[in-house]
Amino acid sequence: MTDYHAPTRDMRFVLEELLDLETIAALPGFEETDVDVVNAILEEAAKLSGEVLAPLNRSGDEQGAQWTPDGVRAPEGFGAAYQQFVEGGWNGVAADTEFGGMGLPECVATATQEMWQSANMSFALCPMLTAGAIEALSQHGSAEQKGTYLEKMVTGEWPGTMDLTEPQAGSDLAAVRTRAVPDGDHYRLYGQKIYITWGEHDMAENIVHLVLARTPEAPEGVKGISLFLVPRYLVNDDGSVGEHNDMHCGSIEHKLGIHGSPTCTMLYGEKDGAIGYMVGNEGQGLALMFTMMNEARHKVGVQGLSIAERAYQQARWYANDRVQGKPLGYAGTDRPPIIHHPDVRRMLMTMRAQIEAMRALCYSTAASMDLARHHADEGERQASQARVDLLIPIVKGWCTELGVELASTGIQVHGGMGFVEETGAAQHLRDARIAPIYEGTNGIQANDLVGRKLLRDQGRAMSALIEEMREVVQTVGDSDSEAVQSMHGQLVESVEALREATEWILSNGAEDPVQGFANAHAYMMLAGYTCGGWLMARAAMKARAALDAGAPDAGFYEAKLVTARYYVEQILPRALGYARAVTAGGDAVMALSAEQF
């Protein structure tokens, strides 16, 4: 397995040039942020990811987390690495300075998230979920809850988890049965939660669980669900850790990948009941949990980007090292490495171009989060939040689908050696495969995109995005650069295909839900590829402008232009196929009876 080197130059291009970091840094609350500070943060994060986290990726996969009657043990080295992570303040990059965070923009935090996930996805799942718990508690917790828990969570001393799923309640959270019985100023919880990532471990003295449960008189369905803060150890009045709460990990799952991350079955209330504290108001649990879920879904999309980047780095290294055959058209007399074979170039370019498109989309969505939270104008905040809500299911769904595809392509570059565990290429595919499933399957993301973000919104947010895309495409068509202008035709077709598919769903989906939802996944993929084309076109224009201005690192910008052109010519046509699937309707999808399968 090769080393991981964070692509900080590519990250800086997206942040500084594509997203205009200086404009983001000028938002209220980011007064201490400037480009030099961000660059220093990225370089230090790159050192931690490359020198501390990445070397534990393979060993963590081989050893795995271990369940014992006394608790769960993280793989060797994870605990020490986590202490370095906490001491460096990395858990709170985007968190409020009031509670010990760095107070940097979310788009900057997303760049560091990419590094952690690329270096060691199993490890990075722990701080990823803590970030979501911090966001939920920051927005909805009481003053007392924030005072007791938030600073410890921001530092990472007390990581957080999200406890939703039960044996009978997977995606259907209306079926949650965990009980929360009032007992003075707190509740006592009884029940079982499954698939709880990093629900129990020995890397921190306390763990803060956010748990969905029902109070005794709660109605059936989602309106009866409330959210509770349940610490592993109760907290004394002076802030110190007290007695163990009535909860423990009954077992951990044996999984296809992410072996270093314990996926726990958590048991609450086998004695007197686990003490918990209601967050927000009774019956609002699911709505409050979505604060955490949206945070997590964006970061899972980043996982798709991250694992693809790691697979690409390994495939690129192997292609430059492996000698096999003489490539067609190769003029030299030696036997060069396989990177000279056209088909290997095709695979590497396919990986590279889609990674750059994913990075642009993930960071752009995070920048919209910053605008939604910090812009001085209420109208701008609302418009930015609408953009975030629209893009989150696309980021999660499209990027994780590509993460699996590109990790598989990385194996293909290795040939037979990719199928052998010792090379490490297979681990990336095994790890990537969970991302389209958890935090809401990609089918759920597609349904959310079509149902909540399109039909319920009457297409307003998507129409605004399409109009912005059209303006960029028009600028591409007007460019005096042949390299940029050549992308115009395919971009026009793709954006118009997205518009037509959107109108088709709006016209047909409201009357017949099957027509709207049967090909929702195809619509999500269409939106993802088209968003990628829009952002790669913008990247191409930025690169062309830098070259025209005499940028010293001309080779970097030339590569950006070529990569954008490859995406538009070789990847973006996929959008048209997905558009045709959407407008074909759902009749064939549902034509067979259940008995005919």
pLDDT, tens digit (0-9, with 9 covering 90-100), for 333-354? 788 999 999 999 999 999 999 9
Phi/psi for 442 (5° steps) reads -65, -25
pLDDT at 290 over 90: no
Residue 384, domain member (yes or no): no
Residue 349, domain member (yes or no): no
Burial class (CB in 10 A: 0-12, 13-18, 19+), 2: middle
Question: Are the C-beta atoms of residues 404 and 305 closer than 8 Å to each other?
Answer: no
Q: Per-residue pLDDT tens for 524-551?
A: 999 999 999 999 999 999 999 999 999 9
| Residue 2 vs residues 312, 321, 339, 357, 409: alpha-carbon distances, Å | 11, 12, 17, 24, 16
Residue 252, domain member (yes or no): yes
List of residues 6+ apart from 194 with CB closer than 8 A: 165, 166, 167, 265, 266
Are residues 166 and 218 both part of a single domain?
Answer: yes
**pLDDT band per the 50, 70, 90 thresholds, residue 418:** very high
Q: Is 496 in a helix, a strand, or coil?
A: helix
Are residues 63 and 86 both part of a single domain?
Answer: yes
The confidence score (pLDDT) of residue 328 equals: 83
pTM for the complete prediction? 0.97
Task: Answer with the one of 283, 310, 333 that is the final residue of a domain.
Answer: 283
Q: How far apart are CA 1 and CA 276, in angstroms?
A: 44
Residue 569 designated active-site: no
Residue 371, domain member (yes or no): no
Are residues 120 and 203 both part of a single domain?
Answer: no
> Both tokens of residue 396?
């999660």
Burial 234-260 (b: 16+ CB within 10 A, else e): bbeeeeeeeeebbbbbeebbebebbbb
Residue 275 maps to which CATH number?
2.40.110.20
Are residues 151 and 39 both part of a single domain?
Answer: yes
Q: What is the percentage of the chain residues whose pLDDT exceeds 90?
A: 92
Residue 220, domain member (yes or no): yes
Are residues 214 and 112 both part of a single domain?
Answer: no
Question: Are the C-beta atoms of residues 277 and 149 closer than 8 Å to each other?
Answer: no
Are residues 104 and 149 both part of a single domain?
Answer: yes
Residue 458, domain member (yes or no): yes
Are residues 86 and 144 both part of a single domain?
Answer: yes
List of residues 6+ apart from 530 with CB closer than 8 A: 469, 494, 495, 497, 498, 572, 575
Which of 166, 356, 439, 493 does the annotation list as catalytic?
Answer: 439
Give me the chain's average pLDDT, please.
96
Are residues 47 and 175 both part of a single domain?
Answer: no
Ramachandran class of 314: left when φ > 0, alpha when ψ lies in -120 to 50, beta otherwise: alpha
Q: How far apart are CA 316 and CA 347, in angstroms?
A: 10
> Both tokens of residue 147?
């005072």
Are residues 30 and 142 both part of a single domain?
Answer: yes
Q: How far apart are CA 202 and CA 187, in angstroms?
A: 26
Residue 51, domain member (yes or no): yes
List of residues 6+ apart from 288 with CB closer than 8 A: 136, 139, 140, 227, 279, 280
Question: Are the C-beta atoms of residues 227 and 279 closer than 8 Å to each other?
Answer: yes
Domain that residue 170 falls in: 160-283
Are residues 52 and 88 both part of a single domain?
Answer: yes
List of residues 6+ apart from 423 with CB closer than 8 A: 1, 314, 318, 414, 417
**pLDDT band per the 50, 70, 90 thresholds, residue 1:** low
Task: Answer with the one of 93, 128, 155 that is the final residue of a domain.
Answer: 155
Task: Answer with the one of 254, 283, 312 that is the final residue of a domain.
Answer: 283
> Both tokens of residue 224?
């009866």
Provide the number of structural domains found in the chain: 3
Are residues 453 and 566 both part of a single domain?
Answer: yes
> Both tokens of residue 535?
């952002």
List of residues 6+ apart from 46 with CB closer than 8 A: 5, 6, 8, 115
The one-letter amino acid code at 356 reads E
- Give the chain's count of helices (H) and strands (E): 22, 12
Residue 421, domain member (yes or no): no
| Residue 203 vs residues 126, 207, 455: alpha-carbon distances, Å | 10, 10, 45
Are residues 145 and 269 both part of a single domain?
Answer: no
Measured on CA atoms in the order 347, 51, 75, 203, is the torsion positive or negative? negative
Residue 65 maps to which CATH number?
1.10.540.10
Q: Per-residue pLDDT tens for 115-140?
A: 999 999 999 999 999 999 999 999 99
**pLDDT band per the 50, 70, 90 thresholds, residue 292:** confident
Enter the DSSP assignment of 415.
Answer: G
> Both tokens of residue 568?
């538009």
Q: How far apart are CA 15 and CA 78, in angstroms?
A: 30
Question: Are the C-beta atoms of residues 151 and 92 closer than 8 Å to each other?
Answer: no
Q: Per-residue pLDDT tens for 230-285?
A: 999 999 999 999 999 999 999 999 999 999 999 999 999 999 999 999 999 999 99
Residue 516: Cβ within 10 Å count: 25
370, 37, 129, 96: CA torsion to nearest 10: -60
